[in-house]
Structures are given as structure tokens and as C-alpha cells.
Chains A and B, each alone.
Chain A
Amino acid sequence: MDEEIVDYTLDYAQSKKIEYAEVRALSQVQDRLALRNGILEAYVSAVEDGFCVRIIANGGIGFASTNKWSKEEAKEIVDLAFKYAKAAGRKDKLVFAKEKGIKTKWVVDQKKKIENVSPEERISTLGEVDKALASCGVKIAATMTQCTIDLISKYFVNSEGSKITSFVPKIGLFFYITVAEQGKMEQAYKQFGYSGGWEAFKLLNVPEKMVHNAKVLKDVITKAKTVKPGDMDLVCGPEVTGIAAHESCGHPMEGDRILGREMSQAGRSFIYKGGPYWIGTRIGSDVVTVVDDPTVEHSYGYYAYDDEGVKAKRRFLYKNGIINEFLHNRESAAKLNTRSNGSSRSINYDREAIVRMANTFVLPGDMTDEELIEDVKYGVYMKSFNEWNIDDKRFNQRYVGREAYLIENGELKHPVARPIIETTTLKFWSAVDAVSKKIEFEAATCGKGDPGQGVPVYTGGPCIRLRKVYVR
């Protein structure tokens, strides 16, 4: 990364008749390991390195990027971005919500520096998962493992005087396993993520968790029974709580979606001006508080300043069941006459920063998990899920259980095969009557934007209990 060229690019952009300009550079040392059935298919090691300029001129936005580090190229991308901004021909001119320029530097610490971990150690650490699976007493038909190791350096400057440098090491793991027992197959995917050093592997207990999932799949084949469809109580484990928080709270609360900027791709929101839901409207019971918080240390979605240079903070999205605060970048905030709450993220130097979640989770209550289950006469405990989706207004969702158990008279009984909850956002969050105190996080990759930008996030929360929902 050549900071001098970044500064030059901003200077050159400011020599034009602009309302705003920023230059964002990124250098990402990235290792990608792909294993099939424990065998390393390929080890990819590369450096992603480039910069972009975003300009507001005549109320339009232009963006251009390159990975060629020269002043000539810098001029070319500024000229392009400036030309595009002016050509937008918008009736209502775009502005950004006000922010003060910030000069700062932030880094994420590593206990065991990734840079000091040899490729051999990286490969053998990953191989431990397949070794553990091979000796766990479950017939594994196939495994696929993908590991991403990133050292991400950024340098951000804008025409308001901001100058921010940052460094984040990040580790991501994705597994897909297929279990074959009694001539039948079941599959599961599982993701792990951490911002920090190589200590991630110890902290995340990956082999142990994957063995647990393999055993769960075996139980689904050999012991699970289907549930008789009907209204019943449903206890969701942190993984299910988290995906619901992400899909039916985080996404519909994105300011750009509410304003229609994602209308053609990721869609709109059931929340819109003049509609039945807006800030102050009840969407869930009063025990439901969902937050999005980039400041959770070492989380997969951690950042201290967003990609527009705005300081990160906790956002209370649904507060005691009430729609409370949208996620904003500077563009969406200006349109709704408010301030950015630091939700602007970009996955690379060649992608515009848009409104994104970071770590979305339900805040804990004061009951134990056992207390939640003890008070259920008949129902299902859906601990984890496989298949899920939600419509593009973020109202009709479905979660299909992977690990799930029948609850009878407050006790866990046999595993349940693929229980399904298919319901609306309003019904889901309104049915919650109790929240446990033990919170857990899951790593995920949130998809949005065109071209797609998969950003690392955590989803999570405690166990939550839903009363009388339809389960099939």
C-alpha cells in the first residue's frame, strides 16, 4: 500500500468541483486453504492490494478503483468517478450526513501472531478436524473445509480531514460434512470466525464442535422422529435465535433497504415510511431486545471505525419489542434526517461501502436454559438449523432444525427430524415469552450488494422460548 499515492489521489479529487471525496486503500494478505476429505486440494496465498475513490459532485456519486499503484492511474480513476458523479442526473441531490474529520489508528491484537504460524502448522491444524471426525464412530461420507486467513490493512482519507489507518487479522472456517448411516445421508454446514490471532483455533474448539455435529446427524438418521404438526412451544437455541435476529431484525432495519436502494437485489423492508411499521411500533414482546454491535472484541464482525470513518457503537434495533433504531451509513442517514451510526462496510477496495450489520444478537435475560425448558409441557427444542430463508421484505421466514429434541413435561426426549418453523417476523418475536441468560455467538457471512459483498458477522443470543407457534 502506497499512502503517498492515496494522499495524492485525494488532493487531485479535491482539485475538481466536488462536494465530497474519499480515498480508501486496502492491502489484504490472504491465505485460502481448501480440503476435501482431509486432503489439501490447494493452498492459495496472495495479496489483494488496491485503492478506490468515491466522489459526490452535482448531487451524484461516482466510484472508481484500481490495483495499479501509479499517479497516472490515480488520475484516471478520479476522472472516471468525477465524470460518473456528474452524469447521474439526479432530481434530488445526494448528500452525506454530517461528520467531523477524524485522525486515528486502530488495530486488533493477536495473542499468537498469524504471521508467525508456518504453512505446515496451518495445514496440520486444519487437518485435526478430519482426524477427529475419522475416529468419532460416525460414518463420514464426505467433508469439505475452507479456511480463510486474512491480514487486512486499511488507510482511509476524506475531504473532511479524516485520516484513519487500521489493521485487522481475521480467520474464517467453513465446513460441510455428509454423514451416511443405514443407507441414508444427512448433511450439515458449520462456520467459525474470529478477529485476532492464531489463538482462535483453541478458543473455537473446532474439532470438538464438528464431532458433535457428526453425532447429531447420525442421531437424526438413527433415532429421530418427525413431530406431529401443530401449535406448540418452541425453544430456540442461540444459533436459531441468532439467525432470526440477523434475518428478521438486522436486515429489515437497514436504512438503505428501507429507502429502496436495494429494491432490485436484496429487496426492500416491511418497514417503510407511511407503512404499518416504523420507529416506535411494536414488533415483538417486551422481553425481546435485539442489538447490532461491531464493538464486541475479537468478534468476526468487529471494527472500531466503519468504512466511512464513523466511530462504531452498539445499536439497539428492537428495544423491549419496539422498533427503535435503523442501521445507517452517511447516505441513508442524511435521507432520514439523522446521523450515521457507523454501519458502513465494504468487503474490498473495489466495492462501495454500504449499510451492513456487524454482530446482531438478542440481549440475554435472567433465566437459565433449563428453566426455559422446564416450563414447556409439549414442544420442540430447536438447537441448530440447516436450511433457512426469508422473503425480500424480511417478513416470511423459515428455519429447519438440524439438532432438535422433543420436550415433554419439561424434559428433553428423543431427537426430532427436521422440525420446521415457517412464520412471520411479527408472530415470531411476539411469541417470545422468556429469554435465558447464557449468550453464544455463531460466525456467518452476510450477503448483500451488487456485486455481492459477503461480510463477516456474528449472529447470536441466548435461548428464547416461543409460546404456541406452528411447528411441522
Chain B
Amino acid sequence: MNDILSKTEEIAKKAKKLGADEVVAKTTFGKYRQVRFSNNQVDITVAWNDYVTDVALAWKKRVVATQIRNFQDTDANIKKLLELAKVSAENPMFGGFAKGNFRYAKSKADKKLEDLDSPTEYVYEGIEAAEKEAGSKVESGGILFTKYEDVYLASSEGPVGADSRSAIEFSIRAFTEREASGHGVECSSGLKDFKPARAGTKAGEIAKLAKNPKIGDEGAYDVVFDPLIMGSSLGVWGQMASAFSVMIQLSVFVNRIGQKVAPEIVTLKDNPAAYSMSNRTFDDEGVPTKETTIIDHGVLKAYLHNASTAKIFKTETTGNAGLPYPNPWNIELAAGDRSKNELFRDMKKGLYLTNTWYTRFQNYAKGDFSTIPRDGIFLIEKGKIKQSLKDLRISDNTLTMLNNIVAISKERQPVHWWAEADPPSLSPYVMFKDVHLTKSR
């Protein structure tokens, strides 16, 4: 595989020789597998093999990029890219790619995820767990996804390295009735401790409790978020912490560094750690990835940066470079001091929301949005489920909700599903006060 790294380095050298000021080349050989299932049966099993080198270069602050497939026509592609740079427009804010010679942590990717022998077995294990929990009439659907990537990076500014990245995700939604469903996920970087049955059991458990739902009432409620719906919020907050989102005003965090944006119990981090589906040892500029505290005990501390945005904000890169924008990798909300059971026990009257979808903003800068809870929605009275509900919508504000966090559980779970809880996160149960819910009229 050193051959691939050499070829990647060759691309960077070639571009530099042809006149580029700075170059980053990143080759990814990826194997992706997915089983899709619905109504308890496998619909399709899919394999993607992808062999691609992403090349980004700058010439007199003109930033251009291309993709070279399987090292085909490399010379011609680089020449063409440099020609494009010479007629492109200057980006005066471009601060250069990251510089330095780094040592990277050893990848802990799970080689077994390169090609699982029998991926459908994991699927049926999850389906059976849902049936065991909710009865044989339960209907389940979802996906099993695996990823194994070998990544090679070479930058004219110093960084050179290789990494392997692996991930596995099982996502299952179980229906006990037409409008009674539960959703569970199991997300990891490897097969160790990966238990699809755990997700199936959770989906089945919620689906069973969700039977006979009634249309809920509008109003302001105390609400407990399950880790799954919390993962959606963490994804949004992580995205808003990207310096690029801040620069284009698609964030509530604009001009708030050093300000209190949440209660003291809230500490929010980005951390593409070995356990997470986003595990990586370096970013797209070759900077070692690390844990970055975004909110520290309620105070906004940092945005997520690449080298260029860091220069604009007069700070250091946080190792979040995607090309061309900084991205969140894996958002962690620090564990609280209450158990999950204590959160529910202390709730006199409120809601327990297990999942959501279709989050849309009226105004990102203000944070006004709505989102539609799905799967189990429960009215809680004196710590117990009183009634299963349906057809409610959260219509609220990001900053208000951040400020209205009142308790966080000790228990946390890696979460990711579809585009709704993305990027991945490490997500606890969270109690909010005064969450506004509306419904159709």
C-alpha cells in the first residue's frame, strides 16, 4: 500500500513542479457495503468500491480542486487543474493549507469491515430482537452499513500520512401498528461490542409502548430527549460550530465566542475518537485530529477550523479541515450527573420524544426552526408513561433550547442515522424545559 502513498505524493510533487503554490492530494480506496431491509425482509444488498484521489491546489490565492479516479490520466488532470487555477478568481481570504510535519496516532480501524462475510445475518439478528420484544407481528425496516477506507495524504506543506477508517451502523425502525413505531441504532467503528440486537430491542420496546397513539395537544412542555433525537440536535449544533457556517451567518454562534450560550452543565465537544464512526487520525489538510471543546460549561469557546478559517479568526486550526470547508466530525455532549431513570422520575408532567426528522430553519442566525418528532412520543406524568401521542411538531429556537437544558444523563450512546442525525455523535438523554409544540389545524 506504500505504492499508493507514493503515487499520491507524486501527484502533489507534480502539481508543485508545474507551478502550484500549495497542493494537497488525498487518495481514498474505499469499500462500502449496505443491506437495506423492510417488512422484515432484505430488499437489496449493495457494494460500492471507490478509488479516488482528491486534489486541491492554490495558485496566487486561486483555489481549485479535482478528483482523479484510480490514478488515470494523472498528468493531464493536474495540468488541466493548474490551467483552471490560472483563469480562476482570487480568494483574498485564503490563508494557505496547513503547514508542518506531524506524527499521527496509529489507526485502530477494524479490518474485518472490509468485506463482511454474511452481512444479512446481522440484519436478521436485529429483526429477531425487535420481534422478541414487540411480538411476531412487528414490521421492521432499516439498513446495515459498513465502511472500510484506506486513506493516503500528501501535502506540499509538509504533512504526509496514511490512515485506515472503518465504521459499522445498524439502524432499525419497528412498527407494531400503522402509527406506532420505535427506532434504534447501533453505531461503532468496529465489530467489537457491536450488537445489532440492542438496536432491535430498543426499536421493539418503543414500538410496543407507542401503541394506540392519540393526537397530542399544543403547548410548552418539559421534554426528555432520547439519545436518538438528541443526536439530531447535536448534529445541527456541530454544523453551526463550523467556522464556515459562522462566516456565512448560518449559525446562532456568530459573535458569541466567550459568551454564555447554555447552562453550566452543557459541555460540547468535537472528537473523531477511535470509537466513533468518524474515526480518523488526520484531517483533509493532514493536521492530526483532536478533541475540541466547542462549549465549555455553558460558555462558547471555539469554532471548528481548517488552516484558512483559523487565520481569518486569528486562531489555530482545530483539525477539522474538509476541502474546502471545516466540518464537525463527531459531536459529544458531556455526560451529566443524573441517571436516565432519575430524569424520568423527576418529571411531573412532560413529554418523552424518541426521534425526529425534517428539521428546517426559518432563520439560522436567529435559530428559529421546526422539526417533526416521529416514532414514540409519550406523555409522562409523575415519571410514568401516561399516553402514547402522535402528530406533534417542535416549533422553537436553537438558542432558547440550549439555554433551557435542565438535566443530562450519565448514560450516553453513539448515534447516527441517515441525514437526520449526522454527523455522528455521543449522545445522552437530555431534559429541556418549556419546549414549544404545535400541531395541524
Binding site for B on A (CB under 8 A): 34, 36, 39-50, 60-69, 73, 76-77, 80-81, 84-85, 87-92, 94, 118-120, 123, 127, 141-144, 176, 178, 185-187, 259-265, 267-268, 272, 275, 350, 352, 386-393, 395-398, 400, 418, 422-424, 427, 447, 450-452, 470
Contacts and interface: CB of A to CB of B under 8 A. Distances in A.
A176 B248 contact: yes
B70 A68 contact: yes
B45 A422 contact: no
B66 A91 contact: no
Contact of A67 (B39, B44, B50): B50
Interface of B: 34, 36, 38-39, 41-52, 56, 62-67, 69-70, 72, 80-81, 84, 87-93, 118, 120, 139-143, 171-173, 175, 178-179, 183, 247-250, 323-325, 357-366, 368-372, 374, 391, 393, 395, 418-419, 438-441
Contacts of B419: 447, 452
A392 B357 contact: yes
A352 B440 contact: no
Given A67-B70, A127-B89, 19 more contacts: A34-B324, A39-B89, A44-B64, A63-B44, A64-B47, A77-B49, A88-B42, A119-B88, A123-B88, A142-B248, A260-B39, A263-B139, A264-B38, A264-B172, A387-B369, A389-B372, A396-B440, A450-B36, A450-B418
A308 to B, nearest CB: 14
19 contacts: A39-B93, A40-B91, A42-B64, A43-B62, A45-B64, A63-B44, A67-B52, A68-B51, A84-B47, A118-B87, A123-B89, A185-B249, A264-B171, A390-B358, A398-B393, A398-B395, A447-B419, A451-B34, A470-B441
Chain B contact residues: helix, strand, loop or mixed: strand
Contacts of B440: 395-397, 422-424, 427
Contacts of A267: 357, 374
B143 A450 contact: yes
A189 to B, nearest CB: 9
Contact of A41 (B48, B172, B324): B324
B41 A63 contact: no
Given A120-B87, A267-B374, A447-B419, A144 B248 contact: yes
A23 B439 CA distance: 46
Given A64-B47, A396-B372, A398-B370, A263 B179 contact: no
Contact of B441 (A48, A92, A350, A422): A422
Nearest to B49: A66
B439 A396 contact: yes
A427 B391 CA distance: 15
Given A88-B42, A261-B38, A389-B360, A44 B66 contact: yes
Contacts of A423: 440-441
Nearest to A30: B67
A62 B44 contact: yes
Contacts of B361: 387
Q: Which 6 residue pairs are nearest across A and B when measured between Cβ atoms?
A: A84-B45, A263-B141, A389-B358, A46-B67, A470-B441, A387-B362
B44 A390 contact: no
A389 B371 contact: yes
Given A63-B46, A63-B47, A73-B49, A392 B374 contact: yes
A45 B66 contact: yes
A404 to B, nearest CB: 13
Contact of A68 (B49, B248, B391): B49
A115 to B, nearest CB: 14
A92 B41 contact: yes
B39 to A, nearest CB: 5
A389 B359 contact: yes
Contacts of B80: 45
A43 B393 contact: no
Given A43-B84, A391-B374, A422-B441, A264 B120 contact: no
A67 B51 contact: yes
A257 to B, nearest CB: 10
Contacts of A178: 248-249, 365
A390 B364 CA distance: 19
A449 B420 CA distance: 12
A91 B374 CA distance: 29
Contacts of B357: 267, 392
A422 B391 CA distance: 11
A263 B324 contact: no
Contacts of A400: 362, 370
A470 B395 CA distance: 16
A60 B87 contact: no
B363 A187 contact: yes
A316 B91 CA distance: 49
B416 to A, nearest CB: 12
Contacts of A63: 44-47
B45 A88 contact: yes
Given A120-B87, A396-B393, A424-B440, A389 B92 contact: no
Contacts of A261: 36, 38-39, 43, 141
A62 B47 CA distance: 8
B441 A142 contact: no
A337 B143 CA distance: 27
Contacts of B90: 40
Contact of A260 (B139, B360, B362, B391): B139
Contacts of B371: 389
B275 to A, nearest CB: 22
Contacts of B178: 268, 272, 275
A45 B175 contact: no
Contacts of A259: 38-39
A403 B42 CA distance: 46
B417 to A, nearest CB: 8
B45 A85 contact: yes
Contacts of B118: 87
A326 B350 CA distance: 40
A89 B42 contact: yes
Contacts of B173: 263-264
B436 to A, nearest CB: 12
A120 B85 CA distance: 10
A395 B392 CA distance: 12
A62 B365 CA distance: 45
Given A387-B361, A391-B374, A263 B249 contact: no
A91 B371 CA distance: 37
B47 A45 contact: no
A390 B372 contact: yes
Contacts of A144: 248, 250
